[in-house]
Amino acid sequence: MTEYLYTYGVTDDGSFELDLPAVEDATSVYTVDYRRYSAIVSDIDTMEPEQTDENARLHDDVLQALIEDRTVVPMRFGMTFKNARALKSVLRGGQRAFRRALMNVDGKVELGVKLVTEEGVDVDREAVRDDVRERLGEVSNDRAENDLFSDRLVVNDSYLVAHEDREAFDEVMGDVTEAYEGQLKVQYTGPWAPYNFVDIEIGAQGAQ
């Protein structure tokens, strides 16, 4: 059976190996290192893992477990490499981009904020968005706006928040929930790996 490498992200916090449930029934996660950069991988027997809910959840679970005590630049689902050599060549070529991305997200996590209108309730959407963004802007480093995929979604933003600001962010979220009680439902999620705050594209040749 040929084994390929499925990647979760890149860190500069050193090499490691952990027993963790991973994509496509893998049970161990380890690093492939090039200089100070380590790609976090597990073994996989296909170049094209199935895009199932279960695999997507496992991809995210691995990252969740790792971001507790490491800074990680997350990869999107499905990045698979033929062997360590191919992966190392991507780490070598992407050193500058990885350095920049790791600096941007160092010591920070991503938090998700969705505000959804209660059934049959109409609100001044623009005013709500401005208010929420102003309040949360004071306790975060960056914001990314996500797709408003439902007519009932008023806010769908991700925030980049430093570890030391987490408590303050939680408090502001409490205030927001209270302020719009009866009008808007709040979904506050995370911490996530900072998917929305790194922008690294690995070329197709890297995956071969």
Partner 1 sequence: MFILDTLLVKPLMTIADTLHTMAVNEVYDVGAIQDQLKETRLLYELGELDRETYETRSEELRDDLELAEEMQQKLLSGNVQVAQT
Residues that bind partner 1 (CB under 8 A): 114, 116, 119, 149-150, 152-153, 185, 187
Which CB, 90 or 115, lies closer to partner 1? 115
Question: Whole-number minimum distance, CB 144 to partner 1, in Å?
Answer: 17
Question: Whole-number minimum distance, CB 31 to partner 1, in Å?
Answer: 33
Which CB, 20 or 144, lies closer to partner 1? 144
Helix, strand, or coil here: 123?
coil
Partner residues linked to 6 by β-bridges: 42, 80
Cα angle 138-172-174, degrees, rounded to a multiple of 5? 170
Which CB, 42 or 55, lies closer to partner 1? 55
**What is the enclosing helix (H) or strand (E) of 42?**
strand 37-44
Cβ–Cβ under 8 Å, residues 25 and 83? no
Which CB, 83 or 150, lies closer to partner 1? 150
If one counts every other C-beta atom within 10 angstroms of the C-beta of residue 189, the result is: 11
The encoded tokens of residue 66 equal 């790792």
Question: Whole-number minimum distance, CB 90 to partner 1, in Å?
Answer: 30
Question: Whole-number minimum distance, CB 149 to partner 1, in Å?
Answer: 4
